[in-house]
Amino acid sequence: MKKPTLAIVVPCFNEELCIKSTAERLLQVIADLIEKEKVSPESYIYFVDDGSTDTSWDIITELHNQTSAIKGLKFIRNFGNQKALIAGYESVCDLGCDCAVSIDADLQQDEWAIERFIDKFNEGADVVSGIRNSRKTDSFFKKTTAVMFYKLMNLLGAKIPVNHSDFRLISKKALEILKLYPEKYMFLRGFFNEVGLKTAYVNFDVKPRMAGESKFNFVKLMGLALNGITSFSIVPLRIISVLGFIMALFGFVVGTETVIEKIFFNNTPNGWATTIILLCFFGGIQICCLGIIGEYVGQVYREVKARPRYIKDTELK
Ligand code: UDP
Ligand code: MG
């Protein structure tokens, strides 16, 4: 039987300190899998340079000149890790592969777990998701916000395991399906869980970052989370409608009561405090709801402009 061709997709943004040893280690993994006859000798690594401003791309080019098992793509500017991943998936699908595994350039994920991903793929899974054994390496803030985010997503109907990651394998079939989705702001973790392909899970250990600093700051993480929610679920909008209805009902009851008191008892209360409290309370709720609706309007606005997801600068095939 023909062995599957594996493409390892590695998004990188200013990772000059990591790329070289990452490439070496991943080449070792591929060599090992070829030797065990689990993947074909045409397997390769595909770096996506997400608009780095350091020497990352020079290093990738140098590696590509040494071996054709290293290929790469450079974005014209920074588009963010999710788009780098999507670009990687789309490109390796076009270049040719039977399955793709995505892994971070700092190799925080255990690269030797790739063998177990391939085993699951060979058993028939179309999506194999990596689940972290723990979040030891994350800061307290990141850990708590991540757990809150996954809890919220699950409440909203996305069946995403809590310690999910972008370390995953997807088959050629899944890659083709991904290409059918024209959305610009895809939330990949939600997508692969929702689309209904045969999914398997692999647990892996997270290591500390190899070198350099995390490329995710608070603003980027918030953006990712908000995009995850608004691109995946409209439940928050429903909640607003229900909330609005309850508030209207409440207003109607209170209004009727005031009118009855005024007409029949004529004792206009001097409820200054109550007025202010209610004003602030409902004012707050309204602004909050407007904000949520605004997020969705923003999402529609971004999608409707139909700008390209990313712009390629150079590709090394
Ligand atoms: N990354 C990217 N574009 C960005 C930010 C990050 O391609 O705008 C890449 C980064 O190079 C790395 C991966 O995404 O390969 C995960 O980033 P990082 O390790 O900094 O995140 P953390 O592990 O701290 O969550
Ligand atoms: Mg990392």
Q: Which residues contact 309 (CB under 8 A, 6 or more apart)?
A: 79, 83, 86, 87, 184
Arithmetic mean of pLDDT, 79-84: 92
Mean per-residue pLDDT over the chain, rounded: 88
CA pair distance 119, 305, nearest whole angstrom: 42
Arithmetic mean of pLDDT, 226-243: 82
pTM recorded for the entire structure: 0.83
In the reported structure, the alpha carbon of residue 177 is separated from the centroid of ligand 1 by a whole-number distance in angstroms of: 25
**CB 166 less than 6 A from any atom of ligand 1:** no
- pLDDT of residue 265 exceeding 80, the answer is no
Angle CA 94–62–21, to nearest 5:
90
Total number of residues shown for the chain: 317
- pLDDT of residue 15 exceeding 80, the answer is yes
Arithmetic mean of pLDDT, 208-234: 83
State which ligand 1 atom lies nearest to the alpha carbon of 13.
11
**CB 122 less than 6 A from any atom of ligand 1:** no
Arithmetic mean of pLDDT, 252-270: 76
- pLDDT of residue 267 exceeding 80, the answer is no
Structure tokens at 243: 């909330």
213 alpha carbon, closest ligand: 1
| Domain locations in the chain as residue ranges | 6-212+308-316, 235-304
Least confidently predicted of 76-85, 123-132, 174-183, 261-270: 261-270
In the reported structure, the alpha carbon of residue 109 is separated from the centroid of ligand 2 by a whole-number distance in angstroms of: 8
In the reported structure, the alpha carbon of residue 215 is separated from the centroid of ligand 2 by a whole-number distance in angstroms of: 8
10 alpha carbon, closest ligand: 1
For the domain bounded by 6-212+308-316, which CATH number is listed? Answer: 3.90.550.10
Query: Which of 10, 215, 221, 309 best tests ligand 1's pocket when mutated (most atoms within 8 Å of CB)?
Result: 215
DSSP of 63-84 = HHHH-TTEEEEEESS---HHHH
Token pair 């995953």: residue:
168
pLDDT at position 268 is 64
Token pair 């490109």: residue:
91
Least confidently predicted of 77-81, 165-169, 276-280: 276-280
Query: Which of 81, 101, 220 best tests ligand 1's pocket when mutated (most atoms within 8 Å of CB)?
Result: 81
Q: How far apart are the first and last CA of the chain?
A: 26
- pLDDT of residue 77 exceeding 70, the answer is yes
**CB 105 less than 6 A from any atom of ligand 1:** yes
Helices (H), 96-165: 114-122, 140-155
CA pair distance 96, 165, nearest whole angstrom: 24
Arithmetic mean of pLDDT, 17-32: 94
Token pair 């595909």: residue:
46
23, 27, 25, 20: which is closest to 6 by C-alpha? 27
Token pair 């307290």: residue:
140
In the reported structure, the alpha carbon of residue 104 is separated from the centroid of ligand 1 by a whole-number distance in angstroms of: 7
Arithmetic mean of pLDDT, 3-30: 95
Residue 298 is inside which H or E element, if any? Answer: helix 272-304
In the reported structure, the alpha carbon of residue 136 is separated from the centroid of ligand 1 by a whole-number distance in angstroms of: 17
Query: Which of 12, 13, 227 best tests ligand 1's pocket when mutated (most atoms within 8 Å of CB)?
Result: 13
In the reported structure, the alpha carbon of residue 12 is separated from the centroid of ligand 2 by a whole-number distance in angstroms of: 10
**CB 216 less than 6 A from any atom of ligand 1:** yes
* CA–CA distances in Å: residue 245 to residues 4, 250, 279: 55, 9, 17
Arithmetic mean of pLDDT, 38-54: 95
Least confidently predicted of 56-70, 92-106, 294-308: 294-308
Q: How much of the chain, in percent, has pLDDT values that exceed 70?
A: 98
Q: Whose CA is nearest to atom 13 of ligand 1?
A: 104
CA pair distance 112, 110, nearest whole angstrom: 5
